[in-house]
Amino acid sequence: MARKRSRLDIITDMLASIQDKGGEIKPTHLMYKSNLSHDQMKSYLDELVNKELIDKIKKSSYDYIIITDKGHSFLQKLREMQEFEKTFGI
Amino acid sequence: MFELVYGPAWFYGKDIAMDAIGILILFLIGIFSLRCYKINPSKKTYLWLALSFFMISLSFLFKILTNFRIYYDVDVTSRIAGRLYSYELVKYTDILFYIGTLAHRILMLLGLYALYSIYHEHTKSEAFLSAYLLVIIAIFTQSNYYLFHITSFLLVALIAWKYFQNYRKNRSQPAKLLASSFGIITLSHFLFCFIIFSQELYVAAEIIQLVGFLLLLITFIRVLKDGKKKKPA
């Protein structure tokens, strides 16, 4: 059975999903890609916006979520951490 | 009171440089682990990993300070060659050597034990008892240096075995490098057990240990490189 995702795992998945889509994604797509409920997603989005890791923009009357530079570098740190964990088996 | 076991005279100072490289590498990994803990404070293993690497790093620092002091004093004594003065210097060196060696051994054994405990769960009382026994070993092996090296060899070997099992599980290249680096460091600890028989064994053990540390650095660089593989769009 797969282990339950931690908060940090979810944040990594969300930021990676935005990055994979070229840096911007529609909120519903992000919800499906990150495998979150609407309420969970709202709470995570608020937190990530507050921490300036992502931003919300409007483009041709659609809402989009974009990853910031700070978000990019944080995601890189998270990936380094994941690799470190895997290597050291912690 | 205690045994002085060194390599040949031509190797004086070179071992200090080699240990200094080890200190930097261990400290670097400790800092990285501490940074990870700051990002994810719920994961205490990061803190333990940082703590163990810092303790081992500090242990080498004490070894360097002790060796440096002794090499320096031997030099001064031989140049001045005054009997009384030489005697005082040696006594002063004895105290420094005793404190430095004790700190080196206690920190090394506790650091290795902390690293070992990350992978083997202990109750608080078991951990306390083990730490106590390791301190006792460090204190009472001042006159039997090889007992300290056998204890540290066993701890490093168990850690290396754990890293090898981890490599078998996830088959990643950095995990393989990590297991190899600890395997090489284990070999160096094995050689340190026999340095009383030959001064060249001390040189060989130091060189092998350096190779192990350099491989550890390569592992760390590889971890960072693999983490950066997906570059921002």
CATH number at residue B49: 1.20.1070
Name every residue in A having a CB less than 8 A away from some CB of B. Answer: 6, 8, 16, 19, 22-23, 67, 69, 72-73, 75-84, 86-90
Of B33, B119, B226, the CB nearest to A83: B226
Is B192 inside a domain boundary? yes
| pLDDT the model gives residue B145 | 79
Which of B215, B223, B231 is the mutation pick for testing A, counting most A CBs within 10 A? B223
Range of the domain at B151: 9-67+98-226
Q: Would B135 be classed as within a structural domain?
A: yes
Chain B, residues 126-155, CB within 8 A of chain A, namely none
Please check the confidence at residue B42 and state whether its pLDDT lies above 50. Answer: yes
Do the Cβ atoms of A81 and B36 come within 8 Å? yes
**B76 lies in some domain:** no
Q: Looking at the domain assignment, is residue B73 inside a domain?
A: no
- How sure is the predictor about B91, in pLDDT bands with cuts at 50, 70 and 90? low
pTM of the model: 0.85
pLDDT in tens, B104-141: 999 999 999 999 999 988 888 888 889 888 888 888 87
Residue A64 confidence (pLDDT): 92
Q: Is the ipTM of this complex over 0.90?
A: no
Residue B137 in domain = yes
pLDDT (0 to 100) of residue B3: 52
Contact B185, B217 (CB under 8 A): no
Question: What is the predicted pLDDT for the residue at B120?
Answer: 87
DSSP chain B: --------GGGTTHHHHHHHHHHHHHHHHHHHHHHHHHH-TT-HHHHHHHHHHHHHHHHHHHHHHHHHHHHHHHHHHHHH--HHHHHHHHHHHHHHHHHHHHHHHHHHHHHHHHHHHHHS---HHHHHHHHHHHHHHHHHTTT-HHHHHHHHHHHHHHHHHHHHHHHHHH--HHHHHHHHHHHHHHHHHHHHTTTTT-HHHHHHHHHHHHHHHHHHHHHHHHHHHHHTSS---
Q: Is the pLDDT of residue A16 over 70?
A: yes
- Which residues of B, range 55-114, sit inside 8 Å of A by Cβ? none
The share of chain B scoring above pLDDT 70, in percent, equals 85
Domains in chain B, number = 1
Given a cut of 80, whether residue B2 has pLDDT beyond it is: no
Average pLDDT of the residues in B77-94: 54
Q: Does B118 touch chain A (CB under 8 A)?
A: yes
Determine contact: B26 vs chain A, CB below 8 A: no
Instruction: Specify the pLDDT at position A78.
Output: 93
At residue A5 the predicted structure's pLDDT band, cuts being 50, 70 and 90, is confident
- B35 domain residue, yes or no: yes
Band the pLDDT of B75: cuts 50, 70, 90.
low
* Averaged confidence pLDDT in chain B: 86
Cβ–Cβ contact B31 with A under 8 A: no
Mean pLDDT within A69-77: 93
* Residue B82 belongs to a domain: no
Say whether pLDDT at A1 is over 70. no
Q: Does B178 touch chain A (CB under 8 A)?
A: yes
Is residue B23 in a domain? yes
